[in-house]
Amino acid sequence: MILILDDHPLSRQGLSTLIKNYKVSENISEAGTVKESILIMKKYSVDLAFIDINLGSESGFSLIRWIKNEKLNTKIFVITSSSRQCDFNYAQELAVDAYVLKDAFIDEIAYGLKTVERGGKFFSSAIMENLNKKTNDEKALNTLTERELDVLSLISQGLNNEKIGKALYISEGTVKKHITNILSKLNLISRVDAVIFANKNRYLMQYAIDKSFKSNMRKG
């Protein structure tokens, strides 16, 4: 069975039609949310999942992480409008089988499908061309230390300085110093601006935080 996760019904329908042109007898299930997708995958064996990353208030990365945690043999074909390097890098970290942009030609998507079925990896030529291009927000986040990323993440969750200090085992004075550095590096004025920035870039931040965990370089 093939699963299509996309929050836009027309996108799901279009992709389903494309797949049917190449795999006439294939059973296809469609889902608009991560929860719906998980329910389907708990009930049926899904060989290949087409996953959009941007799903309104949630992310397709949540489903990809769930698939990996469950150790399923489902091949993952990311099809998304996001050409951001951080999203592509995070997808690679999660070992997806394909990453194709939604505006790709039908032939490219079909070729990607065949490549993945043969056990290969396929990445959109457009995303490969943009690999070395970073947004201003990406560049700004790259200037933050591991601990500053921690503080920014907790700020976005609504924690005050006292609670942030307790969560990270540092003093309130150290928290204030980190916040000052964060605002300066991100060219922001207030704590509210920091929350807005973090929420706008929540998956970019997730990727940065995951990288910092792997480096095992937490500092107070």
Closest of 56, 81, 55, 76 to residue 66, by C-alpha:
76
Pairing mode, strands 54-55 and 28-31: unpaired
Closest of 179, 198, 201, 204 to residue 190, by C-alpha:
179
User: Which CATH number is 2-129's, of 3.30.200.20, 3.40.50.2300, 3.40.50.300, 3.30.70.980?
Assistant: 3.40.50.2300
Q: Look at the block and give the residue holding tokens 């927000």.
A: 137
The pLDDT of residue 128 is 67
Contact between 60 and 53 under an 8 Å Cβ cutoff? The reply is yes
The pLDDT of residue 139 is 80
Closest of 76, 88, 10, 78 to residue 47, by C-alpha:
76
How far apart are alpha carbons 220 and 167 in whole angstroms?
Answer: 12
Pairing mode, strands 75-80 and 98-101: parallel
The pLDDT of residue 212 is 55
Closest of 126, 84, 132 to residue 105, by C-alpha:
126
Q: Which CATH class is domain 136-215?
A: mainly alpha
The pLDDT of residue 124 is 82
Q: Is 72 exposed, middle or buried (0-12, 13-18, 19+ CB in 10 A)?
A: middle
Contact between 145 and 151 under an 8 Å Cβ cutoff? The reply is no
Phi, psi at residue 32, to the nearest 5°? -105, -10
CB atoms within 10 A of CB 79: 23
pLDDT in tens, the chain (220 residues): 999 999 999 989 999 998 888 887 789 999 999 999 999 999 999 999 999 998 888 899 999 999 999 999 999 999 988 777 778 888 888 999 999 988 878 888 888 998 998 999 998 877 766 655 566 787 888 899 989 999 999 999 889 999 999 999 999 999 999 999 999 999 999 999 999 988 877 766 776 666 655 444 444 4
Domain residue ranges of the chain, discontinuous segments joined by +: 2-129, 136-215
HSE at residue 190, side-chain half, CA atoms within 13 A, is 3
Contact between 182 and 188 under an 8 Å Cβ cutoff? The reply is yes
pTM, two decimals, is 0.63
The pLDDT of residue 61 is 93
